[in-house]
A and B are shown apart, each in its own frame.
Chain A
């Protein structure tokens, strides 16, 4: 392990990206992720890389497409309203099967919303967000350390499966400072025979494209892509289990709310309530199996999230509605307190298990 340094989450993402071999970054200022761009603006010229402040998020994601099509590692970052603008480009990245890393440091919405932390882009991130049938790999860090280590992971998965990996963070993750070890480990390299490197007049031209005018061909392409997604669902699910061995109540939470929930769970345990937590680290692929198994042992689930109830739908699907799932949420930039989560655990413990 390398030495630990004290960093903001946004800076940890930026430095981790560079250590992962990303020499090209395109961004546009938006709170609360601007530190990523500021960090890149300082560092990239020193390593001979590209930092470019685009005229819009739309342009930034299309510059990402340009670099990705040449086979090099590339990243962009933004916050909720900016990610909506990138949705077009993300759909094209999916349609062209191009690898890239997109960071969303979420803030409250809809519209211009606010600048305080939120998790209300869950649907947008895990269901696609742009037009067409596709998924992004979605990673949800819950510490500054994970902001770095999941960035390494995101680049690896993007290249491995030739698709977009998204870091779905939130304003707290972006802004808070914690000690972090920046050790990329061994960086895997992947063959990219499709990359636009110039034919050198030695091979047939490579074409990066998402247009298929023959419906049979487009259908086939979608089928192939979903075969790939199936493999990812089988092989790349990541989650953390906390005190689940004897848990009767299962809290499900990701990112900053998982940390709040952990405190509440500790207090509930001190009161003798058998409660544990499953924290999805990959939001897509969603940890369906571990949740479904937990439904056989637990009497109820609580989804703690900073949205009006988005992940809760995936939990209900994962456990096939075998047990009740309750929502504990704050929105608009408000973060639930441990006391609020504890009160929900208490309530479910008293009345839960019955629909």
Chain B
């Protein structure tokens, strides 16, 4: 009997702790498949965030360091500067990357750090039980925006890809989603390119993955995927926001 589907080698046998229907599992798998395909498991070092993905270090077979909230790009900078031959990636959520870690995100991009950032945007703080995130949509109800996010009092969501596309040091910025098969395939292509860029010394790559949080959104997994399509993607349009090498080639 031939094997048609198996777990990527870059994932451990640990049981994921994520809620049913959460798309972290898909994104972990995509990262692991890319690590396998590029044959970089032995020289990859991951940086885990604070948030739902804090225990990513248990799920990937590569070496891992767990960073303080928002500080993953700074920690990754240290790891990469220590040994540039290693492949260094961070895996961060929206609160981590776009609120408390905004400075670390922008400046690691500006410095052209040769690292890969996987940014999971599900518009909410999941681990602490569903509070308003920097990416929570206008009107979206959360534990700390119980009447819906009121932009008059708390302002607007931060659009990370749009923001970073204006940072000169950033090499490759793309927003993808994992709410259907087509989007999952695109997401994998983008993640692979973000790792390949690092292998080729091309500098800072960030892939924003629009994700779900059925538990804290108060939806079934299926409904959550629909909500991504209907609410998230119009506010966070998918696509390549910056690719300096593609731009160079086009010239």
Contact = CB atoms under 8 A, between A and B. Distances in A.
B57 A56 contact: no
Given A65-B78, A66-B75, A207 B63 contact: yes
A206 B42 contact: no
B171 to A, nearest CB: 19
Interface string B67-94: 1100100111111111100100000000
B82 A70 contact: yes
B125 interface: no
A208 interface: yes
Contact of A59 (B58, B60, B62, B74): B74
A78 to B, nearest CB: 15
B104 A59 contact: yes
Given A55-B104, A92-B68, A198-B45, A62 B74 contact: yes
Residues of A contacting B: mostly: mixed
Contacts of B140: none
Nearest to A51: B81
B41 interface: yes
Interface size class of B (residues with CB under 8 A): 35 or more
A288 B82 CA distance: 39
A66 B81 CA distance: 9
Given A59-B71, A198-B44, A207-B63, A66 B103 contact: no
A96 B45 CA distance: 16
B236 to A, nearest CB: 26
B61 interface: yes
A26 B77 CA distance: 11
B63 A198 contact: yes
B63 A66 contact: no
B231 interface: no
Contacts of B19: none
Contacts of A62: 67-68, 71, 74-75, 78, 104
B79 A67 contact: yes
B223 interface: no
A26 to B, nearest CB: 7
A56 B103 contact: yes
Nearest to A60: B74
A89 B65 CA distance: 13
Contacts of B81: 24, 50, 52, 63, 66-67
Nearest to A66: B78
B159 interface: no
Contacts of A65: 65, 67, 71, 74-75, 78
Interface of A: 24, 26, 50, 52, 54-56, 58-60, 62-70, 72, 74, 88-89, 92, 96, 196-202, 205-211
